[in-house]
């Protein structure tokens, strides 16, 4: 059994979770390309060999981190939709939450959506963020007409494009701009 810097002992059952938490913390200060299994093992306080039992290679680790990122994105979007009261306002709030998530977690966001080395086929589930987008698009189509697939692509393209423009500093990262663009208030 190993002990991390915080003095917590990790046993086989929660090493994977501890490694993911360490990886997410490290992504707050650096790009995913700069992360490695050995560094995460050191951060958690275990040998690299122990970590390789949970993640056979860096791609597996990055895929697991992306999966956790998608879970957190979905959680943020559900909370935003609930605060907005659902419906059209809730749908717009999910897009704004998407952009704000990207701005608050740039390395994780890029890992999820802009990493050509990502093993996206290993993200076995249709993540809940995408499922929520499709659910909102179906509701919008039922209320206002239109093709739910096109509505989903339009909404995702708008939020994703805005997020990337702000992350790349092509336009200012401004809450008012987010709300106006994603909310369709030109």
Which percentage of the chain shows pLDDT scores above 90?
Answer: 60
Q: Domain-by-domain residue ranges, the chain?
A: 2-52, 66-182
Positive or negative, the CA dihedral 133, 138, 140, 145 is positive
**Per-residue confidence (pLDDT) for residue 13, from 0 to 100:** 62
What band does 131 get if pLDDT is binned at 50, 70 and 90?
confident
Q: State yes or no: pLDDT of 161 exceeds 80.
A: yes
Q: List, as one string, the DSSP characters of 126-155.
A: --HHHHHHHHHHHHHHHHH-S-HHHHHHHH
Could you give the angle at the alpha carbon of 181 between the alpha carbons of 178 and 182, nearest 5°? 75
Ranked by mean pLDDT, the top range of 35-39, 72-76, 110-114 is 72-76
**Per-residue confidence (pLDDT) for residue 5, from 0 to 100:** 45
Q: In whole numbers, what is the pLDDT of the chain averaged over residues?
A: 87
pLDDT tens by residue, 18-32: 999 999 999 999 998
66-182 CATH fold:
Tetracycline Repressor; domain 2 (1.10.357)
pLDDT tens by residue, 55-104: 998 888 999 999 899 999 999 999 999 999 998 899 999 999 999 999 99
Residue 158: CA atoms inside 13 Å, Cβ hemisphere, count?
23
CATH top class, domain 2-52: mainly alpha
């Amino acid at each position: 059994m190993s002990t991390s810097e915080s003095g917590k002992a990790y046993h086989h059952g929660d090493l994977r979770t501890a490694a993911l938490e360490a990886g997410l913390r490290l992504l707050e200060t650096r790009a995913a390309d700069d992360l490695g299994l050995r560094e995460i093992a050191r951060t958690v306080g275990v040998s690299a060999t122990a970590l390789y039992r949970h993640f056979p290679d860096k791609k597996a680790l990055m895929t697991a981190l992306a999966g956790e990122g998608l879970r957190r994105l979905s959680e943020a979007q559900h909370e935003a939709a609930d605060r907005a009261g659902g419906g059209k306002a809730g749908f717009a709030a999910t897009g704004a939450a998407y952009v704000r998530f990207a701005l608050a977690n740039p390395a994780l966001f890029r890992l999820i959506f802009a990493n050509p080395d990502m093993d996206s086929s290993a993200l076995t589930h249709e993540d809940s963020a995408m499922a929520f987008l499709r659910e909102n698009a179906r509701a919008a189509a039922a209320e206002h007409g239109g093709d739910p697939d096109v509505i989903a692509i339009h909404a995702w393209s708008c939020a994703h494009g805005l997020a990337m423009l702000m992350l790349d500093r092509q336009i200012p990262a401004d809450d008012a701009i987010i709300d106006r663009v994603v909310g369709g208030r030109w």
